Structure 1
Amino acid sequence: MMGVILKRSAMALAMVGGVLLLTAIGMSLVSMLGRRLFSTPITGDIELLQMLVAVTVACFLPLCEVNDRHIRVDIVATLFPARLNRALLAISHLMLALVSALLVWRTALLAVDSLDYGAQSVQLGIPQWIPQVAMLPGLALLGVCALHKSVLQLTGDAREAATGGERP
């Protein structure tokens, strides 16, 4: 049940990321065409693109984890017994959960500092805390998904670990 909830949450967040990515692509296209055809690009397009891509990446990470689609080198894994491979996967998911928690903590502190000091983007004056806060849900969900995957690997529930809790 928890796997299904996490998978649906990750999918919803990835959909938000997809909309943000399409927005970034559209803005870049309009800016490039404006630059080439009319000599009037969108002011601050690079700033906006950087902010949108940062939030977008954070939105896609939980889906990548819940589907276990991170890049993994399995060259030597075939030499190990299944139990050892499960333990190594559990450790890797747990480490990702810890790194995610660290990223949530530090990004939240960065957002608070940006708010306190009134940090803004150079060209457009967009408060920097806005994209920083927008990254937090994706990073937090990444940690929860990684922790769930770690528990599944430790308990040996390989079927649920592979399908994300959905029945085949």
Structure 2
Amino acid sequence: MTKILLRRLAIAMAMVGGLLLLTAIGTSLVSMLGRRIWSAPLSGDIELLQMMIAVAVACFLPLCEINDRHIRVDIVGTLFPAGLNRVLLMFAHLVLALVSAILVWRTALLSLDSLTYNSQSVQLGIPQWIPQAAMLPGLALLGLCALYQGFHCLVSDEAHTPAEEGNL
């Protein structure tokens, strides 16, 4: 039940990231066409692209984690017994949860500082706390998914080997 809920939340978050990515592509296209056809690119297009891509990446991370599809090097993993592989995988998921918690904490402090000091983007004057705070839900959900995956490895009897999934 928990995994289903986390997966649905991660899919919804990834859909938001996809919409942001499509918006970034559209913004870039409009700016390039404006530059080539009318010699009038969108002012601040790079600022907008940077903000949208940063938020989109944070939105995609939970889906990668709940599906256990992050890149990992399994060169020596095939040499270890399944039990040791499961422990190493559990450790990796729990470390990711810790890193995610640190990212949430520091990003929240950054967005609060940006709000307090009224930090704005250079060209468009967009308050920087907005995209910074928009990254928080994705980073927090990443941590929850990593915690789930870590504890799932701890209690699961399933042997997880790279060969089963065709990972390199």
Scaled by the length of structure 2, the TM-score of the pair is 0.93
Contact 1:152 1:158 in 2 (8 A): no
Residue 155 (str. 1) matches residue 155 (str. 2): yes
- Whichever residue aligns with residue 100 of structure 1, its letter is S
Instruction: Write the distance in 1 (CA, Å) between the matches of 2:30 and 2:66.
Output: 34
Give the 5 Å matches for 1:86-97. Answer: 86-97=86-97
Residue 54 (str. 1) matches residue 54 (str. 2): yes
Instruction: Write the distance in 2 (CA, Å) between the matches of 1:14 and 1:158.
Output: 27
Instruction: Write the distance in 2 (CA, Å) between the matches of 1:146 and 1:78.
Output: 22
Instruction: Write the distance in 2 (CA, Å) between the matches of 1:102 and 1:158.
Output: 30
Secondary structure (helix, strand or coil) at the match of 1:158 reads coil
Residue 69 (str. 1) matches residue 69 (str. 2): yes
Q: What RMSD in Å do the two structures reach over aligned CA positions?
A: 0.9
* 1:166 counterpart residue number: none
| Equivalent residues, number | 159
Instruction: Write the distance in 2 (CA, Å) between the matches of 1:73 and 1:6.
Output: 25
Scaled by the length of structure 1, the TM-score of the pair is 0.93
Deviations along 1:39-85, one digit per CA (max 9) or x if unpaired, are 00011000000000000000000000000110011110000000000
Structure 1 gap ranges (5+):
160-168
- Whichever residue aligns with residue 62 of structure 1, its letter is P
* 2:165 counterpart residue number: none
Q: Taking structure 1 as reference, are residues 114 and 145 closer, same or farther at Cα in structure 2, changes over 3 Å only? A: same
**Aligned sequence identity (%):** 72
Structure 2 gap ranges (5+):
160-168
Per-residue deviation at 1:157?
Answer: 4.7
